Amino acid sequence: MLDLLIKNGHVIDPLNQIDSVRNIAVYNGRITRYEEGEPVKHVIDAKGRFVFPGLIDAHAHMFQDGTEIGIYPDCAYLPTGVTAAIDFSAGVANYPLFRSAVIAGSKETIKSFLQVCSAGLVTTSYHECINPKYFNPEKIDRMYHENQDNILGLKIRQSEELAKGFGIEPLKETVRIAGMVGCPVEVHCTNIPVPAGEVLDVLRPGDIFEHVYQGVKNTIIDENGKVYECVRKARERGIIFDTAEGRKHCDFEVMLNAKKQGFIADMCSTDLVLGSMYRRPVFSLPNLMSRYICMGIPMAHVVKMTTERPAKLMKMEGEIGCLSEGARADIAIFDWMEFKQIYRDWKGSEFTADRLLKPEMTIKGGQIVYCAPNYLYE
């Protein structure tokens, strides 16, 4: 007997190129084949709703109580259809605590990028130190290899306010350490001290250029609104571009100009922190996705940005971020409802959307972990 049958829903599963109405069956925590007439414990009628793989937030800060910005993963994510996320909060001094206190106790599937600053993002009272002389390559190497099942790579925040005269030497040293360790680098690129092309020249295939739509300084578009050729070339050689919009890391003009020219980020993520969890302008991953869709990116493409692509980054392609037979039964059901919402970017520019992805149900490992109070099922 099957545990769950989700019937009549419009399924979007980019990995399997599915964008149609069909049934999804669950048995023993996994997606399984359904034969007509097979007995089922619970039937969920998703008629008129969308069924996605459980969403994946590719950039967030979940070190609850270990940092001042850390969200509570299960509270923030399960009610919004997000079943997996990647953290960027801990350094070698506190990663073991993050793993034992947060990752081990969360229903969410969590993987990590390690901050090169040993203390990570402990406080908002002052910036983390990115002076290369204080990096700890040997301990980073050991921590990575002792936790290779969880740590994906290294993170550096390369902003003018942190660099303080170092230029992009902190990034270059981070890439050098990553080469020694054998992992990718993600670089935070807001208010960067050099043109974007100089940062991209340092990055290697598989590295991640973060906050791609920021508009403070040295953006991805030139003074005429054109996407720099070096940005397109970087994508061709395997650089990954992520949004991680946060509260201040998106400029609508940059995003819309890039979109018009066919340049859309590889991943759509929130950079969620305690100050933006359930608060505007970010609120949640599906809220951000709603704006992208209303701005003209097809829904199936946005779902790919929040399922298939980050699952690959997490080295879990085919296991999460899809509805393949045998994959984990992480599933999100949404209503694409009419709803007027005004979004604002970092400089106050407005965009009015008329639709919203409203979370109706979240299934994690085959268990219903959230259901909207007005969504009835058998």
Closest C-alpha to 331, from 54, 8, 32: 54
pTM for this predicted structure: 0.97
For 218-249, give one letter per residue: b (16+ CB within 10 A) or e. bbbbeeeeebbebbeebbeeebbbbbbbbbbb
Residue 185: partners with Cβ closer than 8 Å, 6 or more residues away: 153, 154, 155, 156, 171, 174, 175, 178, 203, 204, 207, 208
- When pLDDT is averaged across residues 80-86 and rounded to a whole number, the result is 98
The dihedral built from the CA positions of residue 201, 207, 209 and 210, taken in this order, carries a sign that is negative
* Average pLDDT taken over every residue of the chain: 95
Whether the CB-CB separation of 199 and 160 falls below 8 Å is answered with: no
Secondary structure class of 59 (helix, strand, coil):
strand
Strand partners, 320: 317
Secondary structure class of 301 (helix, strand, coil):
helix
**Percentage of the chain lying above the pLDDT 90 cut:** 87
pLDDT for the residue numbered 37:
82
Measured between alpha carbons, how far is 147 from 102 in angstroms, rounded to an integer? Answer: 15
For residue 29, the tally of other CB atoms under 10 A from its CB is: 15
Measured between alpha carbons, how far is 258 from 261 in angstroms, rounded to an integer? Answer: 5
Whether the CB-CB separation of 9 and 24 falls below 8 Å is answered with: yes
Taking only the tens place, the pLDDT of each residue in 261-319 is: 999 999 999 999 998 888 888 889 999 999 999 999 999 999 999 999 999 999 999 99
Taking only the tens place, the pLDDT of each residue in 130-161 is: 999 999 999 999 999 999 999 999 999 998 88
For residue 133, the tally of other CB atoms under 10 A from its CB is: 6
pLDDT for the residue numbered 378:
59
Helix ranges, the chain (H): 73-77, 95-98, 137-146, 160-163, 169-181, 196-202, 229-236, 252-260, 285-294, 299-305, 308-313
Closest C-alpha to 356, from 310, 291, 271: 291
* 242, 234, 194, 348 alpha-carbon torsion, rounded to 10°: -40
Whether the CB-CB separation of 107 and 78 falls below 8 Å is answered with: yes
Measured between alpha carbons, how far is 250 from 347 in angstroms, rounded to an integer? Answer: 9
- When pLDDT is averaged across residues 28-45 and rounded to a whole number, the result is 93
* 34, 37, 42, 46 alpha-carbon torsion, rounded to 10°: 70
Taking only the tens place, the pLDDT of each residue in 220-245 is: 999 999 999 999 999 999 999 999 99
CA angle 206, 210, 216 (to 5 degrees): 150
Query: What structural domains does the chain harbor?
Result: 2-52+326-336+357-371 (2.30.40.10), 54-313 (3.20.20.140)
Burial class (CB in 10 A: 0-12, 13-18, 19+), 303: buried
pLDDT of 173 strictly over 80: yes
Whether the CB-CB separation of 291 and 350 falls below 8 Å is answered with: no
Helix/strand/coil (H, E, C) string of 321-369?
CCCCCCCECCEEEEEEEEEEEEEECCCCCEEEEEEEEEEEEEEECCEEE
